[in-house]
A and B are shown apart, each in its own frame.
Chain A
């Protein structure tokens, strides 16, 4: 029987909190970039301009067909070199966080764009027709009429995706970046208390994600009581 020893956790809390901040920063920026770029991709996908639509379809299909871990690794290996050259940074600058953020943002955009595309398509076609009939241009109709309704329908799905994304941030361990999971792993490894630290990390992930998803459920009930 394993003897649990939790004593290394209290002292490690500041370090773990630093890790949590990395996880939260990656999540937040990937959600924001994901929604913005995802909206652009969704509109390209639905556009009647064929090359745009093909590009968006190719992008989405590519990113949805490869594992996130692999995308992160690619970005970990490629992006730092690229950025170093582009900005003339000295070789070996720590760009792990930057490349992880870019990897996540590009990857999640593919998922967000599918959610947003479904959201746009859930708005009745007549809304676009009515907006056009009032003299609005396509972009006015999208901005003022279609997208606001689409986003209102999508809020629960977008938040659920954000929760999944938060869990997925743990995959940055492949680039040895100390996110919350990575930090817990490092502390456990150092103190020979890996089991305790990973259990603790699991509980923290569970509490955060479970409460967030309960919150989403309540939001959903409030806005879509049906």
Chain B
């Protein structure tokens, strides 16, 4: 589904990603973790072309992301993405947030888009808030809306970029629950997150990044039981003894 081969990226002289290679098969849930500045968010943003990269290749569902001939908007329209800061559109109601891209990008009818939006809103447990504006919702609720917004496009896979790191602790679980449910339904997911509990529960594989390199890429059992690199061992020790 997603194939990342030898991807490197630099800003000027600063190397952000070095020779990253991995892949995500259909239905797989991958957690990408690592210390901040390790390039994990950059890597996930390369997958839908939000960040350009200088060398290597990323192929999503048969389409090469880096190819200048690729119709990126079209590719992105079926790759869902959830951001750290939700990025709901503050000048639109929740319903409009859910419908706008369906109408403008997928050319669905207004009725259909609204219906679909409401169904997904119900699924994330927020149907009662349909007429509110993003600013009136809590962070956790906004992030659930953002997930619903991405799902409304019928994505073939979902990218999560630290979806819970901007949330108050008591709101983290409501978002992780939605993500867990999604994973159980077989959604292909690539999640940048520090939530190791989530990784243990739902991930198939864990990728550990450090200084722009993929240091570990292993089944979650192997990763948690016996991380090979010293850097991952230190990281796990720090994060788990919290």
Chain A interface residues (CB < 8 Å from chain B)? 124, 126-127, 129-137, 140, 144-145, 148-149, 152
Q: In the complex the two chains form, what is the Cα distance from A137 to B48 in whole Å?
A: 14
Q: In the complex, are the beta carbons of B83 and A144 less than 8 A apart?
A: no
Residues of B in contact (CB 8 Å), total 27
Is A126 within 8 A of B91, CB to CB? no
Subset of 19 A-B contacts with CB under 8 Å: A124-B85, A130-B87, A130-B88, A130-B89, A131-B101, A133-B48, A133-B80, A133-B81, A133-B83, A134-B149, A134-B150, A134-B153, A135-B74, A135-B106, A135-B153, A140-B104, A144-B100, A144-B104, A149-B91
In the complex, chain B residues whose CB is within 8 Å of the CB of A137? 73
In the assembled complex, which residues on chain A have CB atoms less than 8 Å from the CB atom of B100?
Answer: 134, 144
By a CB distance below 8 angstroms, the chain A residues around B85 are: 124, 126
Contact A132–B76 (Cβ < 8 Å):
yes
- 8 Å CB contacts to A: which residues of B53-110? 72-74, 76-81, 83, 85, 87-91, 100-101, 104-106
Residue B222 at the A interface, CB < 8 A?
no
The 7 A-B residue pairs with the shortest CB-CB distance, nearest first, are A135-B77, A130-B87, A134-B101, A133-B81, A135-B105, A126-B87, A135-B76
In addition to A130-B88, A133-B79, A134-B76, 6 A-B residue pairs with Cβ atoms within 8 Å of each other are A127-B87, A127-B89, A129-B45, A133-B48, A135-B105, A140-B105
A132 and B91 contacting across the interface, CB-CB below 8 Å: no
What number of residue pairs across chains A and B have CB atoms under 8 A from each other? 62
Q: Which residues of A contact B76 (CB under 8 A)?
A: 132-135
Per DSSP, chain A at the interface is helix
B50 within 8 A of A: yes
B87 near A136 with CB under 8 A, answer: no
CB of A148 within 8 A of CB of B91, answer: yes
The distance in angstroms between the C-alpha atoms of A159 and B141, with both chains bound, is 36
A4 to B148, CA, bound (A): 73
A136/B101 in contact, CB under 8 A: yes
Q: Chain B nearest CB: distance from A184 CB in Å? A: 43
Q: Using CB atoms, name the residue of chain A closest to B48.
A: A133
Whose C-beta in chain B lies nearest to the C-beta of A146? B89
- Complex CA gap A152/B79 in Å reads 30
Task: Give the docked Cα–Cα distance between A114 and B73 (Å).
Answer: 29
By the criterion CB–CB under 8 Å, are B91 and A152 in contact?
yes
In the complex, what's the smallest C-beta–C-beta distance from B149 to chain A, in angstroms? 7
Most-contacted residue by chain B among A135, A145, A148, A149 (CB, 10 A): A135
A127 nearest CB neighbor, chain B only: B87
Chain A hits for B153, CB < 8 A: 134-135
Q: State in angstroms the CA–CA spacing of A62 and B159 once bound together.
A: 46
Q: Mark B131-162, 1 if CB is under 8 A from A, else 0.
A: 00000000000000000011001000000000
Please measure, in the bound complex, the distance between the C-alpha atom of A145 and the C-alpha atom of B87, giving whole angstroms. Answer: 11
CB-based contact B105/A133 at 8 Å: no
By beta carbon, the residue of chain A nearest B100 is A144
Give chain A residues whose Cβ lies under 8 Å from the Cβ of B105: 134-136, 140
The minimal Cβ–Cβ distance linking B117 to chain A, given in whole angstroms, is 13
- Tell me, in angstroms, the Cα distance from A131 to B81 when the chains sit together: 10
**Using Cβ atoms and an 8 Å threshold, which residues of chain B touch A129?**
45, 50, 83, 87
Chain B, residue nearest A134 (CB) = B101
Q: Enumerate chain B residues within 8 angstroms of A132, measured Cβ to Cβ.
A: 50, 72-73, 76
